[in-house]
Structure 1
Amino acid sequence: MEDFVQANKLLLLGKLTASLVHEIRNPLSAIKLNLDYMNLAKDDLPQDIQDIVKESLEAFEQVTFLIEDVLDFTRRPTSKMHDVNIEQLTDRCIKIISINARMKGITIQKEISNNLPVLHLNKNKTMQIFLNLINNAIDASKDKDKIIIRSFELQNENSILWQVQDFGCGIKDEDKEKILNGFHTTKSNGHGIGLSVCKKIAEELNSELYFDSEENEGTTFSVKFFLNKE
């Protein structure tokens, strides 16, 4: 019962986050109008003030980008399919979750092959997999460590592999059979549904989710996207 209560808290938090983001938009719009007004008169302002206005407008655009991504992610998933560029979607996920990495001093290293084929997938569901796996990698990592996100084409299998690798605590052998099952977690504050959700979504996307891990050495989670799997 405690697991279900915790899961309900997380669902409620998602709804509250979406509502909060909507409310944040109004004062942000007022700030943007004032910055635009100051920018119109920038030639009459000292150079240091011009620089501040410019940097503030750039920061506003970044905040707006993050708000749109959060709203997009919190919307109820649909069966709608999109043309997905793996690198662009990975970049969006990294921006959303980068604050978690910065809090631990984690460096995110990206190794994505050029000119990967475009995938026809549900963008929101794919983001949910990526965000869960990247967040897990951050949680498993030691402070000031790094994680690697890579993606490349497996031409002999007509697929694209997306991976996130950490060098943290790894997964014990006795937990490997349970880790993708619902409500199994080794985290003191975890709920154990993230990986099972990822597995379910991957199956819905006709993709494969698997992992390789060594205790105290790290873990690599992989998602294999098939280019034309019936």
Structure 2
Amino acid sequence: MIQAEKLESIGTLAAGVAHEVKNPLQTILAGVDFLCLHAARRRETVPMVLSEMRDAIRRADSIVRELLEFSATNHPDVRDEDLNAIARHSLNLMQYELKKHHITLAQELAADLPMLQLERNKIQQVFINLFLNAVEAMPDGGTLAVRTYARPLAGERLTASSRFGPGETMVIAEIEDTGAGIPPDQITKIFDPFFTTKPTGTGLGLPVSKKIIELHGGAIHIANREQGGVRVAVVFKTSGGKNHEKETNPDH
């Protein structure tokens, strides 16, 4: 039964790859055919066709790179990192998008976070993907709220299948938007490879982000907010003694 489910998953993934990569390849092929037939006579259209081919190549490349990320099983190259510093740097890279879409940024980054064992570039990749999703959910403006805090699990488990147990300290990054939220019939599919509601999306951003966080021993949870919009919680476990040297904030 398990083997059959694995084969079914592989088949679904392969079908998704074939569909997603086929479209840009067809665009490239059509462009090549056009250039072969008309390049000499209709030179004014050549730059436009080449631009479309370039975009198609970039899309195919993006799909392949994200698929490789999704299928990766190697452990991240971690070192002690400040989660707040990674969040701030990622937000700095988003300043243009925030201004362009008239989005207000609200930050509440705890000053007492323990250092975490992270691969900086990978976590930055996750943050930027989540920030971009939030921006796209607020095309007419809104508020992007980013907060970090640490707290111990007091008797509860994070989820039934979680690696986080009672007494362990979690470091949490929360990202909230004030958009329309996720439709109920879609929220269970958001981590499925190739599921997307965006016209130009690959449907691999969230699955890749989830994989990166899980390879760091963490978890990612997405839910609609009662006030509207979406809340994303990225949860990390502190990695032992040296990460507990600073006290966590009991108010969170």
Length-normalised TM-score, structure 1: 0.66
Shift of 1:8: 6.4
1:127 shift after superposition: 0.8
Structure with the bigger percentage of helix = 1
The size of the alignment, in residue pairs, is 167
Which residue number in structure 2 is paired with residue 228 of structure 1?
A: 239
Structure 2 residue aligned with 1:180, among 186, 191, 216? 191
Flag the 1:10–1:94 CA change in 2: closer, same or farther, 3 A.
Answer: farther
Aligned residues: percent identity?
26
Larger Rg over CA atoms? 2
Q: SS state of the match for residue 4, structure 1?
A: helix
Q: 1:136 aligns with which of 108, 126, 133?
A: 133
Q: Is the 8 A contact 2:152 2:170 kept in 1?
A: yes
Shift of 1:79: 3.3
* Contact 2:116–2:239 (CA under 8 A) maintained in structure 1: no
**Change in CA separation of 1:169 and 1:182 when aligned onto 2, cut-off 3 Å:** same
- Deviation string, structure 1 residues 185-215 (Cα, Å, up to 9, x no partner): 1122222110010111111111001111159
Structure 1 unaligned runs (5+)?
15-76
Q: RCO greater where, 1 or 2, for CA within 8 Å and sep 6 or more?
A: 2
Counterparts of 1:22-41 in structure 2, within 5 Å, are none
Question: Is the CA contact (8 Å cut-off) linking 1:178 and 1:184 kept in structure 2?
Answer: yes
Q: Which amino acid aligns with 1:206?
A: G
Q: Deviations over 1:129-163 (max 9, x none)?
A: 11111110111114231110011001234110101
Candidates 95, 99, 123, aligned match of 1:126: 123
TM-score, normalised relative to structure 2: 0.61
- The two structures, once aligned, show a CA RMSD in angstroms of 2.5
Please list the CA deviations of residues 203-230 of structure 1 after superposition, one character each: whole Å capped at 9, or x if unmatched: 111100111115992001111000027x
Deviations 1:169-200 (A, max 9, x none): 21111111110111001122222110010111
1:1-230 mapped onto 2 (5 Å cutoff): 1-4=18-21, 9-10=58-59, 12=61, 79-156=76-153, 157-213=168-224, 217-228=228-239
Consecutive unaligned residues of structure 2, counting only runs of 5 or more, are 1-17, 25-55, 64-73, 154-167, 241-252
Residue 74 of structure 1 corresponds to none
| Residue deviations 1:20-74 (CA, integer Å, cap 9, x gap) | xxxxxxxxxxxxxxxxxxxxxxxxxxxxxxxxxxxxxxxxxxxxxxxxxxxxxxx
Task: Tell me the amino acid that sits aligned with residue 224 of structure 2.
Answer: S
CA distance in structure 1 between the aligned counterparts of 2:199 and 2:62, rounded to whole angstroms: 19
Contact 2:225 2:231 in 1 (8 A): no
Distance in 2 separating the partners of 1:10 and 1:79: 26
